[in-house]
Amino acid sequence: MSSWRSLLLRLGEKCPEYAGNADFKDQIDACHSLVRREIEHSEDDVFPFLLQCAEQLPHKIPLYGTLIGLLNLENEEFVSKLVESTQINLQDALETGQCNKIRILMRFLTVLMCSKVIQPSALVVIFESLLSSAATTVDEEKGIPSWQARADFYITCILSCLPWGGAELVEQVPEEIERVMVGVEAYLSIRRRVSDAGVSAFEDIEETNNVVNEKDFLEDLWSRVQDLSNRGWKLDSVPRLHLSFEAQLVAGKSHDLSPVSCPEQPGPPGALSGIAFGRQKHEAELKYPQRIRRLNIFPSNKTEDLQPIDRFVVEEYLLDVLFFLNGCRKECAAYMVGLPVPFRYEYLMAETIFSQLLLLPQPPFRPIYYTLVIIDLCKALPGAFPAVIAGAVRALFDKITDLDMECRTRLILWSSHHLSNFQFIWPWEEWAYVLDLPKWAPQRVFVQEVLEREVRLSYWDKIKQSIENAPALEELLPPRGGPQFKYSAEDGTDPTERALSLELKDMVKGRKTAREMISWVEENVFPAHGFDITLGVVVQTLLDIGSKSFTHLITVLERYGQVIAKMCTDDDQQVKLIMEVSSYWQNSAQMTAIAIDRMMSYRLISNLAIVRWVFSPLNLDRFHVSDSPWEILRNAVSKTYNRISDLRKEISSLERSIVLAERAASRAGEELESAESKLSVIDGEPVLGENPVRIKRLKSYAEKAKEEEVSVRESLEAKEALLARAVDEIEALFLSLYKSFLTALAEPLHDASRDGTLRPSGHADDMTIDLEDSSAMELDKDDEQPKKSHPNGSGERKGYNLDEKQQWCLTTLGYLKAFTRQYASEIWQHIEKLDAEVLTEDTHPLVRKAIYCGLRRPLEE
């Protein structure tokens, strides 16, 4: 990398490029001297790189803004182009709805205003454009209130710029910025308060109405900005580097900024039906999602003593780094620990990362990314961050009873993966008291599931060794044994069945074809022994042959899957097939899930059969004590949904290809027609048409282009037919899934609910560990290491007084809400049928509430 690129990229960092000098002013001077000379002969290289640095390292925008202000003193033309390019990029981002780019470019323009590069009034015009669009959107008569998410986002962008430039705007254009603030306040008075019901990590399915009284994210940000204004716009988290160069920057020319226009309203104004409103609202929230939902998991005495606006700014820094450096986790961790702030923020950093890991309906990136970032941060800050993460885990564990089921699953997966990178070391003795809790208590189930996932990532003996400080927890480890082959020599099974199994193994060893095996089954086995024994022999034997490894299983299914497919042609038979698989792998939840998933991929098992098996009596009793049936159900629904998603992407790609093919065919036809209409002289005589050789070539091109267009159209028709079938399939799946939930919940809810509630009075105190009495969260102030708590709790732990049926209902309702939320985009497309066949008048209120929460649909509809 050339030196000027290194200096630009590392600006603001203590690094070799700046000889270890961490003074921002000196770094800007050094960088300015080199970049200024480089622009003279490599402007085309410097221009895009400088913009890219500002956009993708937004926590360093004050440094880049000051640098550009200094460049503006000597090269106004270069800076003018940069301002114009930024305005064009912002307009494009607004048109395409690129939330992060809009937010960052507005911050960049704000900082350029501070460095005297653009006029403050021009920035206010942009604010007013966004404000006007937002106010129109939420207007009941002129706008489309269902798209409030976009309007809220625009207002958030305005407010989030003020920590970087509020002081300058108030000083230079006080009346204009006051007008904006009044407009924001007016907007807040007419918009609807946004409830986090359905997407909050901590939420009681029965108490979702309580959150309506709390401030939503935009109201909270407004209160933080007001607090900043009351304190004279002074904050610690934004370096005001332009002040160090103010005497120089004031001489620069302030460039004008072209106004931007917001996209048109996404539809005609007017009243909408409840369903149409819900669909549009869901679409808007997907396109303009809320960036963060704070967990507030640490006690106030444990978090850094920050001003309200400083917390917001540091969160912005952390989220920006996570977003823009998602492809390079080590750089990401390095930037996260080196933010340009003068205070410590380890607790806030941990809470922000966990807020993304547990963000609902889904995090911006796959959970594995946050796992790796946390691992790298623990290595980068070995003396502080591991203890903070341990505190976060303890805090989440203490509140696990109220944690959303989807978040609980993510936390289990994260915990096991994280510990696998640190030799599975954890003070398990702190949690040994869970053995005294009922087997359905969420904390006990959490420990059990973490240990089960750890075994998957290692091996049984290793995990047993890791809990040697709490040997009693061995009770929660999964079974140690391998597969349970029904026809093993030592098993007391029927000799005839064992002989059939041996014969089948010999056929596999003899590389008999699937057709030969089918004939053997139909002629020799099925007539004499019936379906159940035949299925058991075939499935158990083939699974045993494929049990050595995942590759062996795939090979067996690919070679002899037709045999199973021939036997199991309907859902009843496929349910029995799944029962055989779960019987064979009864000691391994992982292999059960893998085998069923692979069989679904090969179309040996339908998703409807999996739903029926999951909700069979065999599994109903495990809903609240094991994640195993839910994992299998998640895989089945996810696979079905992914098929339809892939088909839609392929159709979208083919539609674009058709446009290109039509253009190519039209262009080829025009060239041929033009060539044929020209007069040419051949052998001294005028002839209509160009050279015959060229005419022939053009005809060939035109025919090929037409054939290509026809081929693409045929592919599109085939994909559309597959999509129509897939839509019918997923509709049938969701109806079956919801009806199964309703049937399973009907009787338990009737028996367990008391006056419409599942929790006894005072449940918040009874079911959680008293946080004030627990020293598990406390860090020793001398060495910053977590203090050990007593194996049975650090204080007097209160009892868990939900009975089993109540916990079963709460867990099942939690999963119902989680499935609904995860696939809400697809469910909204089938909502009329769901309303007609599932959400009838007889539906239990708690079931209705779980589904409505998952869809973020108002109950009063």
What does the pLDDT look like over 541-558, one tens digit per residue?
999 999 998 999 999 999
What is d(CA 290, CA 360) in angstroms, rounded to the nearest whole number?
10
Residue 663 lies inside a defined structural domain of this protein = no
Residue 172 lies inside a defined structural domain of this protein = yes
Confidence of residue 45 (pLDDT cuts 50, 70, 90): very high
Cα dihedral 173/176/177/180 (nearest 10) = -170
pLDDT of residue 665: 84
Quick one: average pLDDT of 638-664?
92
440 and 517: one domain?
no
B/e letters for 382-407, b = 16+ CB within 10 Å, e = fewer, are eebbbbbbbbbbbbbbbbbbbbbbbb
pLDDT higher than threshold 70 for residue 26: yes
Which domain CATH number covers 596? 1.25.40.180
pLDDT tens-place string over residues 440-463: 999 999 999 999 999 999 999 999
* Backbone region of residue 424 per phi and psi (left: phi > 0; alpha: psi in -120 to 50; beta: other values): left
389 and 519: one domain?
no
522 and 386: one domain?
no
What is d(CA 798, CA 700) in angstroms, rounded to the nearest whole number?
84
Residues in Cβ contact with 85 at an 8 Å cutoff, skipping those fewer than 6 apart: 47, 51
Residue 727 lies inside a defined structural domain of this protein = no
Point out the domain boundary residue: 476, 509, 535.
476
Confidence of residue 495 (pLDDT cuts 50, 70, 90): confident
SS3 688: strand
73 and 132: one domain?
yes
In whole angstroms, what separates CA 567 from the centre of its chain?
Answer: 40
Which residue, 647, 636, 650, is CA-closest to 725?
A: 647
Could you tell me the end-to-end alpha-carbon distance of the chain, in angstroms, rounded to an integer?
60
434 and 531: one domain?
no
510 and 459: one domain?
no
Q: How many helices (H) and strands (E) does the chain have?
A: 34, 2
What is d(CA 400, CA 422) in angstroms, rounded to the nearest whole number?
23
The H or E element that residue 416 is part of is: helix 405-420
pLDDT tens-place string over residues 153-164: 999 999 999 999
**% of the chain at pLDDT higher than 90:** 72
What is d(CA 310, CA 9) in angstroms, rounded to the nearest whole number?
25
Residue 557 lies inside a defined structural domain of this protein = yes
Residues in Cβ contact with 49 at an 8 Å cutoff, skipping those fewer than 6 apart: 5, 8
Which residue, 794, 638, 841, is CA-closest to 730?
A: 638
Q: What residue numbers bound the domain in which 393 lies? A: 300-476
pLDDT of residue 196: 86
Confidence of residue 772 (pLDDT cuts 50, 70, 90): very low
423 and 526: one domain?
no
234 and 317: one domain?
no
Quick one: average pLDDT of 254-273?
83
pLDDT higher than threshold 70 for residue 679: no
374 and 423: one domain?
yes
SS3 471: helix
Structural contact between residues 78 and 43, judged by C-beta atoms closer than 8 angstroms: yes
pLDDT higher than threshold 70 for residue 761: no
Confidence of residue 97 (pLDDT cuts 50, 70, 90): very high
pLDDT tens-place string over residues 697-753: 878 888 888 888 899 999 999 999 999 999 999 999 999 999 999 999 999 998 877
Number of Cβ within a 10 Å radius of residue 66: 29
pLDDT of residue 762: 43
Q: Which residue has the higher pLDDT, 228 or 667?
A: 228
Residue 234 lies inside a defined structural domain of this protein = yes
Mean pLDDT of the chain: 88
Residues in Cβ contact with 373 at an 8 Å cutoff, skipping those fewer than 6 apart: 322, 329, 332, 333, 336, 353
pLDDT tens-place string over residues 794-834: 333 445 778 899 999 999 999 999 999 999 999 999 999 99
Which residue, 591, 609, 604, 588, is CA-closest to 552?
A: 591
pLDDT of residue 773: 34
SS3 687: strand
Confidence of residue 674 (pLDDT cuts 50, 70, 90): confident
Whether residue 361 is preceded by a cis peptide bond, meaning omega within 30 degrees of 0, is yes
B/e letters for 554-573, b = 16+ CB within 10 Å, e = fewer, are bebbebbbbbbbebbeebeb
469 and 564: one domain?
no
Residue 259 lies inside a defined structural domain of this protein = no
235 and 332: one domain?
no
pLDDT higher than threshold 50 for residue 792: no
How far CA 410 is from CA of 48, 161, 246, 453, in Å, comes to: 39, 33, 49, 12
pLDDT of residue 491: 62
Number of Cβ within a 10 Å radius of residue 653: 12
Which residue, 100, 23, 87, 153, is CA-closest to 321?
A: 100
Which residue, 711, 692, 811, 823, is CA-closest to 362?
A: 823
Structural contact between residues 628 and 635, judged by C-beta atoms closer than 8 angstroms: no
Residue 788 lies inside a defined structural domain of this protein = no
SS3 183: helix
pLDDT tens-place string over residues 179-201: 999 999 999 999 999 988 889 99
pLDDT higher than threshold 60 for residue 765: no
| Domain total of the chain | 3
The H or E element that residue 850 is part of is: helix 845-855
228 and 317: one domain?
no
Which residue, 365, 302, 374, is CA-closest to 332?
A: 374
pLDDT tens-place string over residues 213-251: 578 999 999 999 999 999 999 999 999 999 999 999 999
How far CA 244 is from CA of 19, 74, 127, 776, in Å, comes to: 21, 18, 27, 46
Quick one: average pLDDT of 81-98?
95
Residue 158 lies inside a defined structural domain of this protein = yes
